[in-house]
Amino acid sequence: MAPKSASARVPAPRWRRRAEARPEEILEAALAEFTAKGFEAARMEDIAKAAGLSKAAIYLYFPSKMALLEALIEAKVSPLAHQAATLAAAGQADPLTALRMLSTAIAALMADPKVVAVPRLVIGVCGRFPEIAEYYRVQVVAKARGALEQLIEAGVAGGKIRKVDAAAAVRAFIGPLLFEAMWTHVLKGETALNDPRKLIEQQFDVLLNGLEPRA
Amino acid sequence: MAPKSASARVPAPRWRRRAEARPEEILEAALAEFTAKGFEAARMEDIAKAAGLSKAAIYLYFPSKMALLEALIEAKVSPLAHQAATLAAAGQADPLTALRMLSTAIAALMADPKVVAVPRLVIGVCGRFPEIAEYYRVQVVAKARGALEQLIEAGVAGGKIRKVDAAAAVRAFIGPLLFEAMWTHVLKGETALNDPRKLIEQQFDVLLNGLEPRA
Amino acid sequence: MAPKSASARVPAPRWRRRAEARPEEILEAALAEFTAKGFEAARMEDIAKAAGLSKAAIYLYFPSKMALLEALIEAKVSPLAHQAATLAAAGQADPLTALRMLSTAIAALMADPKVVAVPRLVIGVCGRFPEIAEYYRVQVVAKARGALEQLIEAGVAGGKIRKVDAAAAVRAFIGPLLFEAMWTHVLKGETALNDPRKLIEQQFDVLLNGLEPRA
Amino acid sequence: MAPKSASARVPAPRWRRRAEARPEEILEAALAEFTAKGFEAARMEDIAKAAGLSKAAIYLYFPSKMALLEALIEAKVSPLAHQAATLAAAGQADPLTALRMLSTAIAALMADPKVVAVPRLVIGVCGRFPEIAEYYRVQVVAKARGALEQLIEAGVAGGKIRKVDAAAAVRAFIGPLLFEAMWTHVLKGETALNDPRKLIEQQFDVLLNGLEPRA
DNA sequence: TATGAATGAGTCTTCATTCAT
DNA sequence: AATGAATGAAGACTCATTCAT
């Protein structure tokens, strides 16, 4: 996560880093606190303490609490957007296998609370910050959905996948993972995400073959 | 929202204070505010205003903001728990049909923001109130999961459903709806929940027959 | 001030609340609450409950919390002032015996928390209500002091009491009782007021004979 | 009230915030407000203003209003406890003289409203905070009583004091001072504490020689 | 007479944010 | 770059008091 050296093409965001490692540490701490207590309930002082700084020092890096939230969300977008972009291209040849591998990877990621933290945060916050909802919808979820739909459609076109509604298929693919992630991280239920391979195997048994008894 | 006419003889004068209706009205307003702003950011004063009361008056009915939240959650639990209980029994005979009908009903419900509001609230809040997470996990979600799993297993036992992992099937069944609900209400995306029948038909096409091309 | 004349002709029906008794009951309750919690911390609602009324009903009898306090204080003053007046006359003949009897009576009274309650209240309250301090000083304490000093001086004049400073003698006479009353009721210490005769005997042994060893 | 010049070399600039002095200043202000208005009626804002701070700043030093009260009480206890302890030892040789000197000192102290303030506070507050009553009873008053009784008993044993009940003697010794202090500070009466020497002389004339005419 | 309902004015306490060094 | 100190603005909660019946 080395600071990508200013990169003059992209106009430096308002919360531009002034030191090397600090911003990362602060964001880390902020994410932890936001996740644990929610955006409103999280206190700058606790974030500062967790980051090993004084409360005032945070303001050297981020102009406000809100900026922290924005930085946090944005920081997770580029990776995701990028992955989504490459995904569609990469898996065209063998969509089902691609989906299976992808699923397993996602399931494994979702076992990590930190990965789920930002989406959870967005859920909790988008009520009063609609811009964030929109940003997340457009920049993250819509992109991911699009990429997956393309994959499905490619599979259908290539005869590898039965002719189904792509959107429905994407929901069938992502929904169960979302559900298990919520169960695990929100409700603190016993998770099936610990064994991603097994989870995906069971899920794909249903997903690929359906519930109907075969002749 | 009309005062349910305590006695038809004397039409309750408009200025009559409807003490009995108050708790409901307050909860209504609280749900709206909590949903819009989140639990922490919601102000008692706004809730009061929305309920047509003074701030202090709320405390005649609920001892604290937290109590409001709890009442809100609990108020939605008994209905759910009850439905879940009847569900399992009702659908034993023809599980697939039961599932399909149930899905459509749920999808229709989920189009209503108010129905989704409490779960959303729980998601946003359970980080700092683990008791609520536990309550919801045990009293609501675990029960619903259990009822659905029974349904699946009954179907498998009766040969109406292919032999699949029940938990995976439940995830495959609920996950997509959850996903669409989040997309709709959290991210304010264009919803497919408006036409529940079509949505479920597409979803069940995938769910029942799978993605694999049939021979 | 009190609605007098219970008018015994019509026996108040059992269910009928005796309106004329109300002020007394309320004052009783108010004294109890004020004593237990202090004037500021006492809540009208609790007073009402203790008096078996609704909060609003109190305002039919007393226009404000402050009025309650004033009524309370005034209700205890006339008796005291009266007693003080008679005292001086009564004991002129044999001042020492009068003092001894008086002391025992006072000590016995002071064992009763209700008797000490109003003075305690005054102590707690006169910081912010100087009129009350003045009222109490002039109407109660100064009068009592005066009466006692007269008694002492009469004794000195009649040769029954050694020539001492009257004020000092009064302090020596009242102080110990005040001290024990505070210890008992304020600090909840084990009291010597239970056995007033013994207490006064010991106190008078000191008071009359002094500490100096007699030749 | 001058900041005690932490170091004489650099005269603390007037605008320098004297963080170390703050707690003392706050307690000072709190005592003043509590005394003037009573614990409940005193407002944090006024205390803050009197201490030259913002309301919120007080919470940097004391976590609550209650803590302020406790600190205040405790701050006066150690001195007293200590003095009481040394007292008994110091005066053993000549108890009567010790008592006389002690009395004069106490009388002089009691002329200062600030010295009487905390006991007054305790009186007003112990109704609803019984722990404070107990603390004060055990840590302050019982200790002082004990020390004085020892002194008396030593005097009796050494033949310097007539054989009297020690507790009664202590009451006879403290009571008058207590009485005069209340008269002065609670009731705002004209005080005799201004001339402690004279007051004690008169009081000791009674205390030592008694009221009975000597043969 | 009596009260359930309601409220305006206030209080303690918290916290994001700034300031002086 | 960093911080200890400070604060303004806000929010939950309370309570004496009033009102409509």
Q: Read out DSSP for B37-55? A: H-TTT--HHHHHHHHTS-H
Q: In chain D, pLDDT over 70 holds for what percent of residues? A: 90
Q: What is the average pLDDT score of chain B? A: 88
Question: Do C158 and D157 contact (CB within 8 A), yes or no?
Answer: no
> Residue A72 is encoded by which pair of tokens?
């946090």
Q: What is the average pLDDT score of chain C? A: 88
Residues whose CB is less than 8 angstroms from the CB of residue A25 and which lie 6 or more positions away in sequence, other chains included: A51, A52, A53
Give the torsion sign (CA, B111, B115, B120, B123). Answer: negative
Q: What is the model's pLDDT at position C87?
A: 75
- Minimal Cα distance from A179: which residue of B? B175
pLDDT average, residue stretch C139-166 = 93
Q: What is the model's pLDDT at position D3?
A: 39
Distances from the Cα of D109 to the Cαs of C149, D81, D84, D196, in angstroms? 26, 16, 15, 9
> Residue D169 is encoded by which pair of tokens?
């003697």
pLDDT digits (tens, 9 = 90+) for D166-183: 999 999 999 999 999 999
Q: What is the model's pLDDT at position C215?
A: 67
Q: What is the model's pLDDT at position C113?
A: 93
Does B187 sit within 8 Å of A136, measured CB to CB? yes
Q: Which of B40, B29, B191 is nearest to B107 (CA)?
A: B191
Q: Choose from B179, B191, B204 for mutation: most chain A CBs within 10 A.
A: B179
Q: Which of A181, A69, A89, A84 is nearest to A139 (CA)?
A: A84
Does B36 sit within 8 Å of A162, measured CB to CB? no
Q: Which of D33, D39, D32 is nearest to D132 (CA)?
A: D39
Q: Whole-angstrom Cα distance, residue C159 to residue C176? A: 25
**φ, ψ (nearest 5 deg) of residue A43:** -105, 135
Q: How confident is the model at residue D19 (pLDDT cuts 50, 70, 90)?
A: low
User: What is the residue type of C99?
Assistant: L
pLDDT average, residue stretch C18-31 = 84
> Residue A78 is encoded by which pair of tokens?
């580029």
> Residue B16: how many CB atoms within 10 A of its CB?
11
Q: What is the model's pLDDT at position B92?
A: 76
Q: Whole-angstrom Cα distance, residue B87 to residue B36? A: 32
What does the pLDDT profile of chain B (215 residues) look like in tens digits? 333 333 444 444 444 455 567 899 999 999 999 999 999 999 999 999 999 999 999 999 999 999 999 999 999 887 777 777 787 777 778 889 999 999 999 999 999 999 999 999 999 998 889 999 999 999 999 999 999 999 999 999 999 999 999 999 999 999 999 999 999 999 999 999 999 999 999 999 999 999 998 76
pLDDT digits (tens, 9 = 90+) for A120-174: 999 989 988 999 999 999 999 999 999 999 999 999 999 999 999 999 999 999 9
**C1' (F13) to CA (B49) span, angstroms:** 16
Report how far Cα B3 is from the mean position of its chain's Cα atoms: 25
> Residue A173: how many CB atoms within 10 A of its CB?
25
pLDDT digits (tens, 9 = 90+) for C85-103: 787 777 778 889 999 999 9
Q: In chain A, pLDDT over 70 holds for what percent of residues? A: 90
Distances from the Cα of C130 to the Cαs of B198, C124, C135, in angstroms? 80, 11, 8
Q: What is the model's pLDDT at position B1?
A: 37
> Residue B62 is encoded by which pair of tokens?
């609920």
**C1' (F18) to CA (A35) span, angstroms:** 46
Q: Whole-angstrom Cα distance, residue A59 to residue A61? A: 5
Q: What is the model's pLDDT at position D87?
A: 80
Q: Whole-angstrom Cα distance, residue D68 to residue D62? A: 6
Q: What is the model's pLDDT at position C183?
A: 97
C-chain residues near D40 (CB < 8 A): 38, 40-41
C36, C41, C128 ranked by CB distance to D36: nearest = C128
Q: Assess whether pLDDT exceeds 70 at residue C135.
A: yes
pLDDT average, residue stretch C146-165 = 93
pLDDT digits (tens, 9 = 90+) for A40-64: 999 999 999 999 999 999 999 999 9
Q: What is the model's pLDDT at position C19?
A: 52
**C1' (E13) to CA (A124) span, angstroms:** 26
Q: Whole-angstrom Cα distance, residue C208 to residue C101? A: 14
pLDDT average, residue stretch C22-31 = 93
Residue nearest to nucleotide F3 (CA to C1'): A54
Q: Which nucleotides of E are covered by protein (CB under 7 A)?
A: 1-21
D120, D171, D189 ranked by CB distance to C203: nearest = D171
Q: In chain A, pLDDT over 90 holds for what percent of residues? A: 74
pLDDT digits (tens, 9 = 90+) for D67-124: 999 999 999 888 888 888 888 788 888 999 999 999 999 999 999 999 999 999 999 9
Q: What is the model's pLDDT at position C20?
A: 65
Query: Which helix H or strand E contains D152, and what residues bound it?
Result: helix D142-157
Chains within contact range of chain A (3+ C-beta pairs < 8 Å): B
Give the torsion sign (CA, A189, A193, A199, A203). Answer: positive
Chains D and C share 3 or more Cβ pairs within 8 Å: yes
Name the minimum distance, in Å, from the CA of D84 to any CA of chain C: 18
Q: What is the average pLDDT score of chain A? A: 88
Q: Assess whether pLDDT exceeds 90 at residue C162.
A: yes
A-chain residues near B128 (CB < 8 A): 36-38, 41
pLDDT digits (tens, 9 = 90+) for C98-124: 999 999 999 999 999 999 999 999 999
Q: Whole-angstrom Cα distance, residue B31 to residue B113? A: 11
Q: What is the model's pLDDT at position A79?
A: 82
Q: What is the average pLDDT score of chain D? A: 89
Q: What is the model's pLDDT at position A20?
A: 64
User: What is the residue type of A75?
Assistant: A
Domains of chain B: 19-63 (1.10.10.60), 66-209 (1.10.357)
Question: Do D116 and D181 contact (CB within 8 A), yes or no?
Answer: yes
Does D37 sit within 8 Å of C187, measured CB to CB? no
Please tell me which residue, A5 or C199, carries the higher pLDDT value: C199
Question: Do A46 and A52 contact (CB within 8 A), yes or no?
Answer: no
Name the minimum distance, in Å, from the CA of A151 to any CA of chain B: 13
Q: Which of B74, B98, B76 is nearest to B86 (CA)?
A: B98
Report how far Cα B73 is from the mean position of its chain's Cα atoms: 10
> Residue C114: how many CB atoms within 10 A of its CB?
12
Question: Do C211 and D208 contact (CB within 8 A), yes or no?
Answer: yes
Q: What is the model's pLDDT at position C79?
A: 76
Question: Do C65 and C37 contact (CB within 8 A), yes or no?
Answer: no
Q: Assess whether pLDDT exceeds 60 at residue C13.
A: no
- Minimal Cα distance from B181: which residue of A? A175
State if pTM tops 0.85.
yes
- The DSSP symbol for A210 reads -
Q: How confident is the model at residue C22 (pLDDT cuts 50, 70, 90)?
A: confident
Q: Whole-angstrom Cα distance, residue A104 to residue A109? A: 9
Chains A and D share 3 or more Cβ pairs within 8 Å: no
Question: Do C183 and D158 contact (CB within 8 A), yes or no?
Answer: no
Chains B and C share 3 or more Cβ pairs within 8 Å: no
pLDDT digits (tens, 9 = 90+) for D93-104: 899 999 999 999
Q: Assess whether pLDDT exceeds 90 at residue D9.
A: no
Distances from the Cα of A69 to the Cαs of A16, A63, A74, A115, B166, in angstroms? 14, 11, 9, 15, 39
Q: How confident is the model at residue A215 (pLDDT cuts 50, 70, 90)?
A: low
Question: Do D47 and D68 contact (CB within 8 A), yes or no?
Answer: yes
Q: Which residue has the tokens 């029940």?
A: B166
